[in-house]
Chain A
Amino acid sequence: MIVLADINRLFRSDEVETTALRSIDLSIEEGEFVAIMGPSGCGKSTLLNTLGMIDKPTSGRYLFRGQEVTDLEEAQLARMRRDNLGFVFQSFNLIDELTIAENVELGLVYRRWAGKDRKARVEAALDRVGVAHRSRHYPHQLSGGQQQRAAIARAIVGQPSLILADEPTGNLDSENGEQVMEILKSLNREGATIVMVTHSPRNADVAQRRIDMLDGRVVISASRAA
């Protein structure tokens, strides 16, 4: 599904140049659940952003389902994200001014879905993660766990083929974290490919494959025996 070949990412500011990714070679199969681990600043999030096409690598090739991504225009990238990807963030990143239902709906709005089709899909997605009863509330009226479940609903409402999760349990207590991991696990069982950045070895154990990173390089890429 995904092939990364010799991906490098440099960040330049006026004074310093930081290399976040160094010649990453990686391939991810359809239906895989991959966990990325490593200490702070090792390049996990940059790798995830690159996979999510919201950050462009400085050099290297990125094939998504056989299509070269690095050459695409901004508008084409937006279309790729819209049609194929779902994001879950550590800090939920729900829009404060929109209700839970509106936040989830946003994923479909950009797909140009008709209004009444969107309603049913949003309800189904919220039902799936167990926050349908809070759909008319604003994000700040919900607990952290509920917010993260709403964020997952937003990520899956468009039925993306790839879900990218950046420390999805990082801001949650263990009970809520557990619930979020359960949802991701069942999504994967239903066929979604998931790439998750995490600090928690316990969460990483849920994945089929674990990638360890250090200083912008992949140091270990190991598959768990099924």
Chain B
Amino acid sequence: MLGHWLLTLYRSVARHRLYAAINVLGLALGVAVFLVLMLVVRFQTSFEGWIPHADQIYVIRRNDPIVGGWRPATMGSLLNELRADYPQIVGTRVGGGLATVRQGATITSEQVTWVDSGFFNVFDLPLIAGDRTQVLQAPDEMVVSESKARKYFGAANPIGQRLTLILDKKVRTYRIVGVIRDPPPTTDFNFDVLIGLEEPTPQENPVWRLWSASSVATYLRFSTPGEAKAMGDGLESFIDRHAVGPFIQTPPHKGLVLRLTPLLKMHLIVPRDEAIVAVIAAVAVLTLLLAAVNYVNLATARASMRAKEVALRKVMGATRPGLIAQFVGESVVVALCGALMGLALCELVLPLFSAAIGVTLKLDYLGDPWLAGMMVFVVVVVGVGAGAYPAFVLSRFQAASVLASARSPGGGRAGSRLREALVVLQFAVAIAFTIGMAVILSQADYLHRADLGFRRQGLIQVDSFPHPDLTAEQRASLLTAWRAEPGVVAAAQADSAPAFKRRLMETFRRPGAPDNGPTVDFVSIGPNFLQTYGARLLAGRLPDPSRAADFSVSRQEAAGSINIVLNSRAVRVLGFASPRDAVGQSLEGLNKRFTVIGVVSDMRFRSPRDALAPIVYWSFSGAIADGEAVVRFAGIDTDVLMARLAADWRRIVPTEPFLAKTMAAELEPYYRTDEQISRMLTLAAVLAVLIGCIGLYGLASFNTAQRVKEIGIRKTLGASTADILRLLMGQFLRPVVLANLAAWPLAYITLRAYLVGFDQRVALTPAYFLTASAMTLLIAVVTVAGQALLVARAPPSKALRHE
């Protein structure tokens, strides 16, 4: 019996090779896209899940009254204050900074994380050397990751080895007491180098005990969610009991709010990131749905042609349950083939895809029940869904009436309407994806070409320049040395640069204004800063190094009216009619008086999603605290120049490593996410259109096969090949045209929401919609043209002969 069944299945597949290939290939493509995109979703949603008991860990977030939103950062001593009220609390503070590592003569730079001695009670990280209850108890102990241990000590046992760190101008040698396993890529933490956190004195760090400061992240661990909730609910009254000091209102909880947030939620805490992951998941599910619909559609279409087979089997004694088992079984086996092929395809494209999006993804066959679960789900749902129609509908027909009838009972008008509706659905999704792809790609391209307000080519940014250990003299000598290098056009410093974290804001007002005036970014710049970037002058003049009056020596000593430059956004925010109107006007702020001498174009130093800030540029002739340096060059190879800048650095600052990047590299992270999304969507869109075409092709070949006779009649009545072609193409393309109507509003609403997230964006013009539709229509025409032409050209006598 089984043998016969397998033989029937094999014959059926072999006889309808095209049909079988279309069916399996379509499903395989859908499964592959689904798996790849779901791996991305799983990657994004599994952050910090590797940390043991991650679900018990919470981070305290504080409202940020200046920038808005919530930051996972608190004052340094919050945990101590909490302990006073909640002595049983399990918690640790985590802070970090860039340290210089000295090992013999080599100097490198390393991100160092300082934690409380109770760190391992909260983060139960696996130690591969050392005892977690013993480590980080003494101030000179250090725990490093496996890879750092290998980097510094090679194959030697790292335990007991020493490393010298220079942190905040203090040199200290640490002893390695533990090694933790390297974390997986699904983490936002950097636990490469852990050292003990030391409580600073008020002199060492005046803001450590300032309630509005953001010195560390404070993590707490609770054994039950109830305990966490109780703690979270009590934070408001806790603040009222404890918070005192500058910037604290009465009652304190009015201006200062603390929240407990589960660690597992932190990676996607920004709604936009969460939305992006949700969109990827939706695209994955839709693509699979598309393929499944395709499969079911083709299977049921063909099943109606098997009515005679069913009738004959019944005549020969087949029972209804037997027939149902046969059809469902066949369908599940074919679906299984499709799913396995999809899995293989997924494995094939995964390395390429990982490289394209910059995240290493892999299928984990043994360690992860997710994969097996997904496969079983796909096979069962698709297989049973496709097999159910022939199984339950065809097996119900009366054998005698089917055999006597010239017409196939399956399908009929309702059946073909349903199939057409499914093709509309497929193409609507495919077209919406295509429009989305076009818009997102051109947005990404636009951002790359968009005017940043300065020339990004030929600029190098020196990220080690703000290092606190550098003296003002060293900074001045570096700039002088770099300016002397051949190929260097200009070099300057300022406490603002692309990717630069710190941002100073002040209120400025026009004299006589009733209030404090708007909040404006306040940037300290050195000589030639604006010239080095190539900012465009809109009105007035730039600070002139030959005019002493344009430059202050230091902020404290500046007196009289200070010459400043505004950017064009600041002109608007401060209420001037035009850049020209602003020049020569006075401003007040920081208890000083300023005169606007010039206005420059807005320079975009941050993400294209962020609005441009209004900026006041104040020029200084002397050193700028925390200033970054930029070097403008021309006519020299970037790598060659970089090496020369590094050589100058080593000569002047032998104790610190040189860190620098090209401007393009500095800006790249702001564009990375959107490029990843556009790549993913491109993949999904191309495959969705392909799957749609496979479905359309299958349906077209099925339809034409059923209509051979009708076409013969039409030709006998005098229809020309062109008439038939028009008829068939019109019918095949109708669902595609209808799909456009469904896809347009959907794509429009989604893409408008996407583009609103950008400060700089392309216009959502009809061109995208028309082009995408024309493209899909063209692809659809090519897909069905062959079929239609074949049938339209066949001699009618052949069609009419088989009766």
Contact = CB atoms under 8 A, between A and B. Distances in A.
**Which bucket holds chain A's interface residue count?**
20 to 34
Interface string B682-719: 00000000000000000000000000011011111111
A87 B717 CA distance: 8
A75 B793 CA distance: 10
Interface in A67-123: 74-75, 78-79, 81-83, 85, 87, 89-91, 93-97, 106-107, 110-111
B717 A110 contact: yes
A28 B316 CA distance: 52
Nearest to A86: B717
Interface string B719-755: 1111100000000000000000000000000000000
A82 B712 CA distance: 13
B718 A107 contact: yes
Contact of A78 (B413, B709, B712, B718): B718
Contacts of A154: 717
A157 to B, nearest CB: 10
Interface in A122-169: 140, 154, 158
A56 B797 CA distance: 9
Contacts of A79: 718, 720
A178 to B, nearest CB: 23
A52 interface: yes
A94 B797 CA distance: 15
B803 to A, nearest CB: 5
Interface in B772-802: 793, 795-797, 800-801
Contacts of B722: 75
A56 B803 CA distance: 20
B407 interface: yes
Contact of A75 (B413, B720, B797, B800): B720
A97 B713 CA distance: 13
A26 interface: no
B715 A91 contact: no
A54 B716 contact: yes
Contacts of A107: 717-718
A29 interface: no
A93 B709 contact: yes
Interface in B13-39: none
Contacts of A75: 720-722
Nearest to A92: B713
Contact of B796 (A45, A54, A82, A111): A54
Interface centre among A78, A81, A89, by most chain B C-beta atoms within 10 angstroms, is A78
A55 interface: yes
B407 A110 contact: no
A49 B718 contact: no
Nearest to A160: B718
Contacts of A158: 718
Given A93-B709, A95-B710, A83 B716 contact: no
A60 B709 CA distance: 28
Contacts of A54: 712, 715-716, 795-797, 800
B317 to A, nearest CB: 30
B716 A56 contact: no
Interface in A33-48: 45
Please classify the interface of chain B as helix (H, G, I), strand (E, B), loop, or mixed, using the class held by over half of its residues: helix
A108 B732 CA distance: 24
A96 B795 contact: no
Contact of B718 (A55, A56, A97, A110): A110
B718 A111 contact: yes
B719 A110 contact: yes
A140 B717 CA distance: 21
Contacts of B720: 74-75, 78-79, 110
B407 A93 contact: no
B717 A82 contact: yes
Interface in A162-208: none
Interface centre among B709, B712, B718, by most chain A C-beta atoms within 10 angstroms, is B718
A83 B718 contact: yes
Contacts of A82: 717-719
Given A49-B797, A55-B797, A56-B795, A78 B713 contact: no
Contacts of A83: 718
A218 to B, nearest CB: 20
B800 A93 contact: yes
A204 B312 CA distance: 39
A94 B716 CA distance: 12
A85 to B, nearest CB: 8
Contact of A52 (B710, B713, B716, B721): B716
A41 to B, nearest CB: 12
A81 B715 CA distance: 9
A140 B710 CA distance: 15
Contacts of B801: 45
Contacts of A91: 406, 803
Contacts of B796: 54
A61 B406 CA distance: 37
A159 to B, nearest CB: 13
B704 to A, nearest CB: 14
Contacts of B795: 54-56
Interface in B388-423: 406-407, 413
Nearest to B714: A106
B800 A96 contact: no
Nearest to B799: A54
Contacts of A52: 716
B263 to A, nearest CB: 63
Interface string B66-106: 00000000000000000000000000000000000000000
A201 B136 CA distance: 113
A87 B718 CA distance: 11
A201 to B, nearest CB: 23
Contacts of A97: 413, 710
Contacts of B803: 90-91
Interface centre among B717, B723, B795, B797, by most chain A C-beta atoms within 10 angstroms, is B717
Interface centre among A56, A75, A79, A110, by most chain B C-beta atoms within 10 angstroms, is A110
Interface centre among A45, A54, A87, A91, by most chain B C-beta atoms within 10 angstroms, is A54
Contacts of A90: 803
B407 A96 contact: yes
Nearest to A74: B721
B721 A78 contact: yes
A87 B719 CA distance: 13
Contacts of A45: 801
Nearest to A94: B713
Contacts of B406: 91
Nearest to B719: A110
A78 B717 CA distance: 8
A89 B800 CA distance: 9
Contact of B717 (A49, A55, A106): A106
A204 B797 CA distance: 24
A111 B717 CA distance: 9
Interface in B643-668: none
Nearest to A50: B797
Contact of B713 (A49, A74, A95, A140): A95
Nearest to A56: B795
B475 to A, nearest CB: 85
B723 to A, nearest CB: 6
Nearest to B416: A97
A78 B715 contact: yes
A79 B710 CA distance: 18
21 contacts: A49-B797, A52-B716, A54-B716, A74-B720, A75-B720, A75-B722, A78-B715, A78-B719, A78-B720, A78-B721, A78-B723, A79-B720, A81-B716, A82-B717, A87-B716, A89-B800, A93-B712, A93-B716, A111-B718, A154-B717, A158-B718
Interface of A: 45, 49, 52, 54-56, 74-75, 78-79, 81-83, 85, 87, 89-91, 93-97, 106-107, 110-111, 140, 154, 158
Q: Which 3 A-B pairs have the closest CB atoms?
A: A82-B718, A55-B797, A78-B720
Given A79-B718, A95-B713, 6 more contacts: A75-B721, A78-B723, A81-B718, A97-B413, A97-B710, A107-B718
